[in-house]
Amino acid sequence: MPFLRPLQMAKVGVVGLKDDRDRILTILHDLNVLQIEPLSHEALEHLGSEHGSELQRSLGDLIVRFRGLKAALPPSPAGAPRGFGDLDELFEAARKVPIDEEVGTLKREEDRLLTQRKALGDEIALLDAHPYYRDPLELLTGKSVVSFFGEATADRFALLTAELPADAHLLVGPTGESVPFLITVPTAVADSVARIAQQHRAALTVAPRRTGSPQEVRPTLVAERERADSRLAEIRGRLGEISRAWYATVLSIDEALSIENRKLEVYARMGAGTRTFAVEGWIPTRERPQLESALSQATGSRVHLYDIPTKELPPTLMENPRGVRRYEFFIRFYSLPQATEWDPTWVFAVVFPIFFGFMLGDWGYALVILGFCLWMIYGFPGRRHVPRFLKDFLKRIMAPPSMQSLAYALLPGCLIAIGTGIAFNEFFGFHVLPTPYLDPLTTYGVTTLLLLTGYIGVAMVCFGFFLGALKEFFQSHPAAGLSKVGGISLALGVAIYGLGVLHAHAIVPPMTATILGSVALLVVGFLLFLGGAAVAHGREGIQEAGLGVIEVVSHILSYTRLLGILLASAVLALVAKDVGTSLIGRGGGGLVAGALIIFVVAVFNIVLGVFEPGIQGARLIFVENFSKYYSGNGRAFRPFGSRRTHTLPLHRPDLAAAGAAPVGASQGPRA
């Protein structure tokens, strides 16, 4: 498992006989370790390109057929995974499934009955909503007249009636919060009446074409709906019987067909000769021996796996420990690293919780945020009780899976915030612990704390330049690497000299020797930074170096926001506490007002405690640290393969015996 690096990749080619092609593609699919690329121009000079075949079209027809069956049948237990020896066996198994006609007939009848049942239900509801009409329904329709049942609020009904044509006949039911009514108009003006009703937001429904009064028609409609329900139950029962007998088979054949189709899609990226074929792609270097061994065993050594020298940028596959992997969400959100640069997930995983916990600094707020995080991690239990506006707001911000990833990432920061909050004895702005506590403002003062955050900034900026210098030297860019080393010297010189001179009680005392040493370090750093930029970028590099000096200073000072956000939250809580307790002490209405002020500010601080430390903590890493060594814009490693659930791998006896997922299935890009 690499540290601070994506997995090392190699580009390889596979050459084999066409007789072994299906077997080789099956192994590539089940191992799930090779990202297949279009064949290089050099290889295409010796091999032709492959094209689609009649087999692919036949396979596509079968896929449509079995996906339709899977969608039509109610789910049943899947059963044990099933293996298919070759395409002929798979096609024969598909041919022996005899349920298409019956399932199609039943589903068409079910759809028709569902439509009929909905129409019957709408008619019953319409008659129930207008019980004041008791005459025969056939009187409402004819060659020259049409009738509408409608409903509107009293004010909209008044506007509607004022615009109705003179030859409209109106019958009004009992009024309440809304006014039910019946309008009969000549057919010639029916469309204009419908437009008027739409303008005034009055719902109109054409009167049903039935014979008899509503009291006579309603039992008939109910009986028809009951017959439809009875037939629907019979259809669903029969579909259930078919599903119990065939659903597992349909699932396994559908999955096998999808895998075979993916294998055929690879043909467009391979080259072929008269008897041979070739395929190229990227593979993690550590997986190469496993792939070579599997191909050799399956084909009797009738395959050649070779390395392809290339200057192409490989795809990126990050592999971090489980806890650190939770923070890959933030890295992917920012930009996927290139395969040849640092994987900054470790940096973010270590630094972000510390920044978040320090800026929050209150164990009351931290406990509430921790509770919300656990609620999201455990799948939002009881979410039906959450107000709809709040659920809609949360969905607009982030999808539920992303919210769970964020919750996992905030857990360590909440624990650190609880620790710092207990140390500072801050609980929603109150000092509730009887034990002595650390008051950093009183003990050290704002100036010293600002200096501390400044030196944190120096450490983060220098660390970023250090990783940047290593990256440039590894990629054979010595001039750019020298510029990064100059950045380290420049940052140290600014910190020791600038902060030491401006604040006489700095952590590093501004003695004469120290000042002279820091001046020398500052000059050397500036010259290295300037010279490296000039060599790397020509004359334009001098201008960039000048801007770079300003950038280094601003990035160091940017870390003072660590203290600023902590103080903003603490001061807000302190003001709420003082005002609230003062009002509570007056009793009466002041008790309610004071408690309300404390509660509202606490809720606001909780929201602020999630967004401000989270956003600013991430920003300090993304901008002030990552910008020194991280380019991003990498492309994800997407190996050829898929997880088998209902089928067995053909050429992996160890997996076939256990019915396990293929090796490498978990090594693809993680969400």
User: Chain-centre distance of CA 638, in angstroms?
Assistant: 17
Rounded distance between C-alpha atoms, residue 40 and residue 280, angstroms:
8
Whether 458 maps to a domain, the answer reads yes
What is the number of domains present in the chain? Answer: 2
- Higher per-residue confidence, 278 vs 651: 278
Confidence (pLDDT) at 552 = 79
Please report which helix (H) or strand (E) contains residue 183, including its range: strand 179-186
| CB 220 within 8 Å of CB 141 | no
Q: Tell me: the pLDDT tens digits for 100-156?
A: 999 999 999 999 999 999 999 999 999 999 999 999 999 898 888 999 999 999 889
Residue 25 has pLDDT above 80, yes or no: yes
Q: Tell me: the pLDDT tens digits for 409-423?
A: 889 999 998 988 888
| CB 332 within 8 Å of CB 65 | no
Confidence (pLDDT) at 340 = 86
Give the mean model confidence (pLDDT) for residues 498-524. Answer: 53
Clarify whether residues 219 and 335 are in a common domain.
no
Domain of residue 545 covers 322-628
Burial 104-113 (b: 16+ CB within 10 A, else e): eebbeebeeb
Whether 51 maps to a domain, the answer reads no
Clarify whether residues 391 and 517 are in a common domain.
yes
Of 170, 201, 225, which one is at a domain's C-terminal end? 225
Instruction: Report CA dihedral (216, 219, 224, 226) to the nearest 10 degrees.
Output: 180
The single-letter DSSP state of residue 316 is B
Residue 440 has pLDDT above 50, yes or no: yes
| CB 500 within 8 Å of CB 508 | yes
- Higher per-residue confidence, 401 vs 541: 401
- Higher per-residue confidence, 655 vs 384: 384
Clarify whether residues 326 and 221 are in a common domain.
no
Give the mean model confidence (pLDDT) for residues 198-216. Answer: 91
Clarify whether residues 213 and 345 are in a common domain.
no
Whether 528 maps to a domain, the answer reads yes
Of 209, 225, 241, which one is at a domain's C-terminal end? 225
Confidence (pLDDT) at 496 = 65
| CB 93 within 8 Å of CB 86 | no
Residue 211 has pLDDT above 50, yes or no: yes
Whether 472 maps to a domain, the answer reads yes
Residue 442 has pLDDT above 70, yes or no: no
Rounded distance between C-alpha atoms, residue 40 and residue 166, angstroms:
80
Clarify whether residues 219 and 358 are in a common domain.
no
Clarify whether residues 218 and 355 are in a common domain.
no
Domain of residue 178, CATH code:
3.30.70.2750
| CB 280 within 8 Å of CB 36 | yes
Least confident of 61-70, 298-307, 438-447, 662-671: 662-671
Confidence (pLDDT) at 438 = 59
Clarify whether residues 460 and 584 are in a common domain.
yes
Give the mean model confidence (pLDDT) for residues 584-588. Answer: 71
Whether 181 maps to a domain, the answer reads yes
Of 187, 202, 225, which one is at a domain's C-terminal end? 225
Structure tokens at 142: 């004819």
User: What percent of the chain has pLDDT above 70?
Assistant: 84
219 pLDDT band, cuts 50/70/90, is very high
Clarify whether residues 615 and 477 are in a common domain.
yes
Least confident of 92-106, 245-259, 268-282: 268-282
| CB 270 within 8 Å of CB 29 | no
Average pLDDT score, the chain: 82
Whether 446 maps to a domain, the answer reads yes
User: Chain-centre distance of CA 79, in angstroms?
Assistant: 32
Whether 614 maps to a domain, the answer reads yes
Give the mean model confidence (pLDDT) for residues 347-359. Answer: 91
Q: Tell me: the pLDDT tens digits for 263-301?
A: 888 888 888 888 889 999 999 999 999 999 999 998 889
Please report which helix (H) or strand (E) contains residue 594, including its range: helix 589-622
pTM over 0.75: no
